[in-house]
């Protein structure tokens, strides 16, 4: 029995919980009942982890008890390529529906509802948020929630629905579209059994809430794996992509892109309106590779207007320091703080710039004067007795984030923070940034892909409501 993992510790303080096992009288301090029918009160939801050969009898008991839903953790049905067990799967769906019971699964992890302290993996956040997650895969549901939680995102509800024998993608999309606690929807889908209903539900959902779909099994190798996994017949990715486009949804190409799109949608970056990127304080050679990556994603690093370059030249008087874009500047503190703030704001507000890319967790140090690109290598710069070196780098990095958040608010131009090196990978700093509506990405490639995907999505939504 796995009560602690399936339920948050606060669950049975709010809701009654009844372990059922004919061989036990107590489970972790809770009274255990021989069958669902023996539970003393009405039962809303049953989590089934009994052997597959006994599930049919359980469904009968649940119908008799008036249970509203059953989550079949139990696996080994249609996905096992065993005709007999595939028939059992069909039979329990018919029996449950006839009896007014809805099913999750089989072969799935079930429900995550932080407000109810109901969860299915250790490490899922207990605080609710605004992102709804549906996933055919339990392990990918885990990657969605764990991966995004580590970057500061919280969830309204989540569901892992495995084979989707009864309730499936379109049901959950309809729920998410209606759910007042949900603002953003993410879905991991391997196969769609009912294309028309899926498309209609996706359109209803994506019309009013940003909706991201990650499709598993879009290659021959992936489709074979999906068949073994959830008995899904994966269709052509071109068709699926067209469906997403027509519905006004975003299609994420990878799990990482799904994460990055949610980060973009839950920060100021969602306001991005064009392809002009300013690269600031990111180091000479790194700026070259970053410019390449940005251009390859279909964005641009346009030269700044002459007037802005002249303003920057006052701020960065050292010969050899680039002010065209990329700009070899860094945020200053103390006496220089106002001047550096004005320089950043001037870049953000200049005509060709739509979004500012800068490094997270690096350098407040003085720019130029010492040699190549030192201003942008604060974390690595030679330490030689400056007073500033005595400062706490973590505190400096948090101050940098606060300053960038203020610039984003003040100028209305979004920032994307690039996590470079070990300082940039500091998770507390990422969370600090996300809490201030600043998007942070592991590298320029991923930041650029997220921005490009967001812009393409917005362009395709002509005729649909503008969501922000």
Tell me which residues in 372-411 interact with a copy of itself (CB under 8 A): 372-373, 376-377, 380-384
Strands 277-280 and 355-360, sheet pairing:
parallel
Number of helices (H), then strands (E), in the chain = 17, 15
CA distance 169 to 459: 26
Number of residues that bind a copy of itself (CB under 8 A): 96
Residue closer to a copy of itself (CB basis): 75 or 405? 75
**Among 171, 190, 354, 426, which residue interacts with a copy of itself (rule: CB under 8 A)?**
190
Q: How far is the CB of 130 from a copy of itself (least distance, A)?
A: 24
Query: 299 vs 433, which CB is nearer to a copy of itself?
Result: 299
Give the shortest CB-333-to-a copy of itself separation in angstroms: 21
**Mind giving me the DSSP string for 52-68?**
GGGHHHHHHHHHHHT--
Residue 296 sits in the site that holds a copy of itself (CB under 8 A):
yes
- State which residue, 1 or 63, has the beta carbon closest to a copy of itself: 1
Please say which residue, 128 or 147, places its beta carbon nearer to a copy of itself.
147
Among 287, 348, 418, 454, binds a copy of itself (CB under 8 A): 287
Distance, CA of 413 to CA of 261 (rounded, Å): 18
- Closer Cβ to a copy of itself, 332 or 445, answer by number: 445
Q: Residue from 30, 200, 225, 464 that binds a copy of itself (CB under 8 A)?
A: 225
Nearer to a copy of itself, 63 or 370 (CB): 370
Which tokens hold the place of 272? 């991005």
The CB-of-19 to a copy of itself minimum distance in angstroms stands at 12
**Range 63-102, binding a copy of itself (CB under 8 A):** 73-77, 79-80, 82, 85
* Contact residue for a copy of itself among 114, 152, 210, 283 (CB under 8 A): 283
Q: Is 300 in the site for a copy of itself (CB under 8 A)?
A: yes
Shortest distance in whole angstroms from residue 389 CB to a copy of itself: 11
Among 123, 195, 274, 317, contact with a copy of itself (rule: CB under 8 A): 123
Residue 161 sits in the site that holds a copy of itself (CB under 8 A): no
Q: Is residue 317 within the footprint of a copy of itself (CB under 8 A)?
A: no
294 near a copy of itself, rule: CB under 8 A = yes
Least distance to a copy of itself, CB of residue 155, Å: 16
Nearer to a copy of itself, 77 or 198 (CB): 77
Under rule CB under 8 A, residue 188 binds a copy of itself: yes
Contact set for a copy of itself, span 8-27 (CB under 8 A): none
* 453 binding a copy of itself? (CB under 8 A): no
Site for a copy of itself in 247-266 (CB under 8 A): 254-256
- Measured from the Cβ of residue 307, the count of other Cβ atoms closer than 10 Å reads 10
CB of 165 or CB of 405, closer to a copy of itself: 165
């Amino acid at each position: 029995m796995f009560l602690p993992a399936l339920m948050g510790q606060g669950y049975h303080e709010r809701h009654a919980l009844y372990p059922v096992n004919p061989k036990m009288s107590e489970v972790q301090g809770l009274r255990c009942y021989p069958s669902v029918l023996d539970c003393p009160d009405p039962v809303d939801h049953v989590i089934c982890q009994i052997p597959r050969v006994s599930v049919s009898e359980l469904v009968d008991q649940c119908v008799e008890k008036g249970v509203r839903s059953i989550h079949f953790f139990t696996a080994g049905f249609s996905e096992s390529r065993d005709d007999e067990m595939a028939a059992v799967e069909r039979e329990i769906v018919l029996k449950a529906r006839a009896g007014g019971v809805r099913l999750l699964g089989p072969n799935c992890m079930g429900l995550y509802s932080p407000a109810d302290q109901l969860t299915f993996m250790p490490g899922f956040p207990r605080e609710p948020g605004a992102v709804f997650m549906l996933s055919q895969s339990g392990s990918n549901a885990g990657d969605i929630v764990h991966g995004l939680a580590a970057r500061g995102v919280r969830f309204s509800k989540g569901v892992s629905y495995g084979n989707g024998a009864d309730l499936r993608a379109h049901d959950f999309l309809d729920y998410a579209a209606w759910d007042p606690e949900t603002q953003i929807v993410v879905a991991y889908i391997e196969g769609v059994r009912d294309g028309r209903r899926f498309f209609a539900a996706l359109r209803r959902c994506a019309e009013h809430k940003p909706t991201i779909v990650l499709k598993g099994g879009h290659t021959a190798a992936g489709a074979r794996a999906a068949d073994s996994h959830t008995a899904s017949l994966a269709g052509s990715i071109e068709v699926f992509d067209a469906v997403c486009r027509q519905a006004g949804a975003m299609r994420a190409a990878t799990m990482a892109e799904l994460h990055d799109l949610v980060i973009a949608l839950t920060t100021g970056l969602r306001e991005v309106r064009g392809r002009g990127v300013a690269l600031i304080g990111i180091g000479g050679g790194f700026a070259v590779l970053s410019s390449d990556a940005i251009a390859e994603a279909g964005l641009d690093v346009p030269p700044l207007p002459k007037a802005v370059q002249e303003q920057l030249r006052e701020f960065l008087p050292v010969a050899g320091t680039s002010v065209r874009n990329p700009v070899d500047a860094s945020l200053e503190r103390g006496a220089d703080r106002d001047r550096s703030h004005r320089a950043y704001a001037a870049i953000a507000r200049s005509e060709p710039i739509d979004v500012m890319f800068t490094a997270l967790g690096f350098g407040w140090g003085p720019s130029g004067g010492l040699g190549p690109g030192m201003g942008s290598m604060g974390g690595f710069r030679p330490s030689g007795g400056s007073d500033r070196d005595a400062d706490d780098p973590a505190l400096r990095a948090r101050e940098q984030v606060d300053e960038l958040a203020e610039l984003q608010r003040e100028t209305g131009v979004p920032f994307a923070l690039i996590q470079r090196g070990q300082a940039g990978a500091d998770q507390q700093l990422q969370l600090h940034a996300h809490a201030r509506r600043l998007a942070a990405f592991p590298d320029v490639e991923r930041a650029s892909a997220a921005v490009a995907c967001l812009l393409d999505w917005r362009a395709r939504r002509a005729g649909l409501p503008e969501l922000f």
